[in-house]
Structure 1
Amino acid sequence: MAVDLDPRLLDVLACPSDDHAALTAGAPGDPDADALTCTECGRVYPVEDGVPVLLLDAALPAEDSEEQ
Structure 2
Amino acid sequence: MPLEAGLLEILACPACHAPLREAQAASDAESGTDELVCTGADCGLAYPIRDGIPVLLVDEARRPA
Q: How does 1:23-62 map to 2 (within 5 A)?
A: 23-27=20-24, 33-40=33-40, 41-62=43-64
Aligned length: 59
Q: Does the C-alpha gap of structure 1 residues 28 and 46 become closer, same or farther in structure 2, counting only changes over 3 Å?
A: closer
**Greater fraction strand:** 2
- For structure 1, the 5+ residue unaligned runs are 64-68
Would you say 1:16 and 2:17 are equivalent positions?
A: no
Deviation beyond 3 Å, 4+ runs, structure 1: 27-30
- For structure 2, the 5+ residue unaligned runs are none
Q: What fraction of aligned residue pairs are identical, expressed as a percent?
A: 44
* TM-aligned CA deviation for residue 22 of structure 1: 0.3
Q: Does the C-alpha gap of structure 1 residues 28 and 47 become closer, same or farther in structure 2, counting only changes over 3 Å?
A: closer
CA RMSD, 1 decimal: 1.7
Moved more, 8-17 or 32-41: 32-41
